[in-house]
Amino acid sequence: MATPTDIPALAAKVRTNDRATLARAITLIESKRADHHAKAHQLVQELLPHTGQAMRVGITGAPGVGKSTTIDTLGSFLTEKGHKVAVLAVDPSSTRTGGSILGDKTRMARLATDDNAFVRPSPSSGTLGGVASKTRETMLLCEAAGYDVILVETVGIGQSETAVSDMTDFFLALMLPGAGDELQGIKKGLVELADMIAVNKADGDNLKRARAAAGEYRAALHILTPRSENWTPPVVTYSALTGDGVADLWKQIELHRERMTKSGELAARRREQQVKWLWSMLEDRVHSRLKSDPRLRAKLPQIEAAVAAGTLSATLAVEDIAAALGL
């Protein structure tokens, strides 16, 4: 069996869709050990020519909206249709303890035991927006392993929505019916990112409320400018519990893919995402240097204390830090 030090062999085995090898390769990508970084970069570079063909779908929604159940139902629907589905479930890590809640496999019971699905919870480890810093690389590894649909779940807070939108082709926002004033639950920034709004729990006594909520969201979308001239975000209703409406939901995603590909916008969007990825990685590198530089580690506590006490302005503090880094 390939070892992490034998990168070409590891890459070759990832491409055979050996699940244990894929899991080990992702662990290498996520490793914080300095000696693993070069190997991880080599692995991604080795597999890069075998990526880019999958449909990348970001899924967001407030806690309780049913993201995990939706992904379990949608993913199972897709594997039944012959797709191979990878789920990158980004967990909220505690910024105080560094712990994370790795419970997605228990909430996605069907996909967790499906041979044509791969569920990978990834602790975000305090990364800005709650999005795992290595999610992009993990997505590429899954594509190289033959998964043709990648579902990226975001915790649905803060900047995580923008970050997931910046790494996927289609961004799906899940909403709930009957939660008071429907428009109160719709964030302008989120709606501007969304390629579709889907109202969950459209079943039983909730069906009427779900349809009413969908009408409210459609009205809200009419007053906003879509982010693409080739696509007007639809609003659909579905039930993750019964599966009703899931086939229509997927049809809209396929239609979006077809239009974006035909117009050339999909390729343009991915090129733009690659450049954003570059800057994101560069920012991570600078941030890492800030935390690890020995000269700064000695100075930062005093600088922070002076800023907190009001004896040093934040502007001058930044200049001091930049000078210490040679910037």
Q: What is the pLDDT of residues 244-274, one digit of tens each?
A: 999 999 999 999 999 999 999 999 999 999 9
Instruction: Tokens for 175, please give them.
Output: 């909403």
277 — pLDDT class (breaks 50, 70, 90):
confident
Q: What is the pLDDT of residues 72-83, one digit of tens each?
A: 999 999 999 999
Q: What is the pLDDT of residues 44-61, one digit of tens each?
A: 999 999 999 999 999 988
Q: Around Cβ 231, how many Cβ atoms within 10 Å?
A: 18
Q: 199-227: b or e for each residue (b if 16 or more CB lie within 10 Å)?
A: bbbbbeebeebbeebbebbeebbeeeeee
* Percent above pLDDT 70 for the chain: 84
Instruction: Tokens for 9, please give them.
Output: 């062999």
The structural domains of the chain, ordered by start, are 1-49 (1.20.5.170), 51-263 (3.40.50.300), 277-325 (no CATH)
4 — pLDDT class (breaks 50, 70, 90):
very low
Q: Which residue has the higher pLDDT, 95 or 299?
A: 299
Residues 6+ positions from 302 with CB-CB distance below 8 Å: none
pLDDT of 165: 86
Q: What is the pLDDT of residues 119-133, one digit of tens each?
A: 987 655 555 443 556
d(CA 191, CA 171) in angstroms, rounded, equals 10
Q: To the nearest whole number, what is the mean pLDDT of the chain?
A: 84
105 — pLDDT class (breaks 50, 70, 90):
low
| Backbone phi and psi for residue 85, each to the nearest 5 degrees, phi listed first | -115, 130
Q: Which residue has the higher pLDDT, 65 or 295?
A: 65
pLDDT of 30: 85
pLDDT of 119: 92
Minimal CA–CA distance to 170: which of 151, 188, 155, 189?
A: 151
